[in-house]
Amino acid sequence: MTATVQSPAPARTLRRARRRWVPPYLFLLPAGVLFIAFFAIPIVYAIYLSFRGFRVTGGGPFGVRQEAWVGFENYIKTFAEPEFLAGFGRLAIYGVIAVPLTLGLALIFALLLDLPRIRAARFSRTAIFIPYAVPGVIASLLWGFLYLPSTSPLNWILDKLGLPDVVMLSGGALYPAIANVAIWGGVGFNMIIIYTSLRGIPSEIYEAARIDGANEWTIAWRIKIPLVGPALVLTGLFSLIGTLQVYGEPTTLRPMTTEISQTWVPLMKIYRDAFARDDLSLAAASSVILAIGTLVVSVILLRATQRKSFGGGE
């Protein structure tokens, strides 16, 4: 009885609420479904798997392998494995070379392109951007051949001069050689992001600075670099994330050298554990650690740079 009396009001608000809810959710639906299917569920599944493992029950030679909850065993195993930690060590050396050089070169090229009276600016900008179109695997292949003693142009010149060959893919040159592939592929894209951001700065600011007697050097340091801060943070973030998931480059260069092991970087070890050793739980635990590590590093970077640009200072 009361229900029929009250029904018009809730129905109207319900209809109004539905009108508010439904259209945005319909627009969001395809993305939402795909996000849940390919991000949320895999994350939950990976976390689930990382706590599972095989336990031998019954003991002796006739023990039965059974899947069971193993708690943090896989995580402990991951951290106890020297190869996984060594992979992070190698990743760190690689990243220390690749990230600052990629960003530094991108920033320098962008600032130079933004200077007055530059010649062949369009040619240079386009040429530096071209490697972005080259897949990492193919970039590694190209550089791999340029590094190979028998096809390297550098060694051809050294031979003609009667000097000994330089070996690129072993010893101390290995890290710079692999980092170089990533730098080559990444400079152009980052340069364009910084450059477009520079072009967005109103030129009156420079005019004013020039009237005050500032030279291009001072303008770059005091005005341009601080103003493109957000672009630098973003490119830094992408370079860092890219570094943590390095996989294609060392994998492609592997056939060309004996010094890149099957577990050279964390992702290569995860891949081997999952597919060659069939230890999915261990691979899942390592993936979770890598993902958490990436998130932590990203958040720290964002926090640190935001404090620098908004919190502290003059």
Q: For residues 149-168, which are near another protein according to CB under 8 A?
A: 150-153, 156
Q: Which of 77, 81, 93, 142 lies at the binding interface for another protein (CB under 8 A)? A: 142
Using the rule CB under 8 A, is 218 a contact of another protein? no
From residue 114, alpha-carbon distances to 24, 96, 183, 209, 211 in Å are: 41, 27, 21, 16, 19
Give the other-Cβ count within 10 Å of 309's Cβ.
14
Q: Which of 84, 94, 143, 264 lies at the binding interface for another protein (CB under 8 A)? A: 143
Q: Which of 197, 239, 263, 281 lies at the binding interface for another protein (CB under 8 A)? A: 197
Q: Is residue 271 classed exposed, middle or buried when 0-12, 13-18 and 19+ CB atoms within 10 A define those classes?
A: middle
Using the rule CB under 8 A, is 227 a contact of another protein? no
Long-range CB contacts for residues 297-300, cutoff 8 Å, separation at least 24:
297/240, 297/244, 298/237, 298/240, 298/241
Site track for another protein across 13-32, x = CB under 8 A: -------xx-xxxxxx-xxx
Write out the E strands in the chain: 52-57, 64-69
Using the rule CB under 8 A, is 56 a contact of another protein? no
Using the rule CB under 8 A, is 225 a contact of another protein? no
Cβ 171 to another protein shortest distance, Å: 20
Footprint of another protein on 259-288 (CB under 8 A): 267, 270-271, 274-275, 280, 283-284, 287
Using the rule CB under 8 A, is 178 a contact of another protein? no
Long-range CB contacts for residues 262-269, cutoff 8 Å, separation at least 24:
263/83, 263/84, 263/87, 264/87, 264/90, 265/87, 265/90, 265/91, 265/94, 266/84, 266/87, 266/88, 266/91, 266/290, 268/87, 269/83, 269/84, 269/87
> Which span sits near another protein by CB under 8 A: 4-12, 69-77, 85-93, 199-207?
199-207
Using the rule CB under 8 A, is 40 a contact of another protein? yes
Cβ-based nearer residue to another protein, 137 or 225 = 137
Cβ-based nearer residue to another protein, 6 or 69 = 69
Footprint of another protein on 69-128 (CB under 8 A): 105, 108-109, 112-113, 115-128
> Which span sits near another protein by CB under 8 A: 59-67, 70-78, 83-91, 141-149?
141-149
- Structure token pair of residue 261: 């092991």
Question: What sign for the dihedral angle of Cα 287, 293, 296, 302?
Answer: negative
Using the rule CB under 8 A, is 147 a contact of another protein? no
